Amino acid sequence: MKKVAVILSGSGVFDGTEIHEAVLTLLAIRQHGGQYQCFAPDKSQLHVVNHLTGEEVVGESRNVLVESARIARGEIKPVTECKEEDFDAIILPGGFGAAKNLCTFATKGADCSVDEDVMAVCKAFAEAGKPAGYACIAPALAAAVYGNNVKLTIGDDEATAAGINKLGAQHVNCQVDDIVVDTEVKLVTTPAYMLAQDILEAHAGLNKMVQTVLGMQ
């Protein structure tokens, strides 16, 4: 049974992990015979967003690990405890938290930096040649991790794709229910809610991503 490290970035599409993407990813891992352990950085979110109004909540602070624990049903560890040698693959669902809390792509674009602890973990998997899946906006982080003209997708948004290319990646336009695979580095990406109009569309690509990651040797 393959073991997958899943890195979350909070709870909620606008300031953390996209919850549907996270749950669909965890479900797909189990359906395809794998098991998972969730991780998240133990630090404050960039900001807090009211998901009913879409507006920032001024003066409120939340912790990424604590919020991610909502999705993981409490079964989560600090990302500093994620050791590449304990897992066969790594997957990062999307949501703006991936571009706000795991890295600063949402605010700085191609000039973004990646959380040091998250970068260390993602780099370890990349350097070990282990399969990885990044969904939605998370491939922006993958661009910073892999560089070297790595092939990946966030769908077909031109401005976002341009920023990703500046990070050293090669963006490939992709339909919502499909994936882009860079076989050389064993990286699988899918647009998910960068394009998805409903949960069925998100599921199609995420399921394909997980199945492909788990099928890689």
Per-domain residue ranges of the chain: 3-135+199-215
Q: What is the pLDDT of residue 123?
A: 98
Q: What is the pLDDT of residue 217?
A: 80
Whose CA is closest to 171, among 196, 146, 200, 193? 146
- Homologous superfamily (CATH) of 3-135+199-215 is Class I glutamine amidotransferase (GATase) domain (3.40.50.880)
Choice among 38, 103, 136, 174 that is catalytic: 136
Kindly give the confidence (pLDDT) of every residue in the chain, 217 residues in length, as a single tens digit, with 9 standing for 90 and above: 999 999 999 999 999 999 999 999 999 999 999 999 999 999 999 999 999 999 999 999 999 999 999 999 999 999 999 999 999 999 999 999 999 999 999 999 999 999 999 999 999 999 999 999 999 999 999 999 999 999 999 999 999 999 999 999 999 999 999 999 999 999 999 999 999 999 999 999 999 999 999 999 8
Query: Would you tell me how many other CB atoms lie within 10 Å of the CB of residue 62?
Result: 18
Asked if 38 is an active-site residue, the reply is no
pTM here is 0.97
How many angstroms from the chain centroid is the CA of residue 166? Answer: 19
**Phi and psi at residue 114, in whole multiples of 5°?**
-110, 140
Contacts 24+ apart (CB under 8 A), 112-120: 112/140, 112/144, 112/167, 114/141, 114/144, 114/145, 115/41, 115/43, 115/79, 117/41, 117/78, 117/79, 117/80, 118/7, 118/41, 118/79, 119/144, 119/145
* CA separation, residue 4 to residues 15, 36, 64 (Å): 24, 5, 20
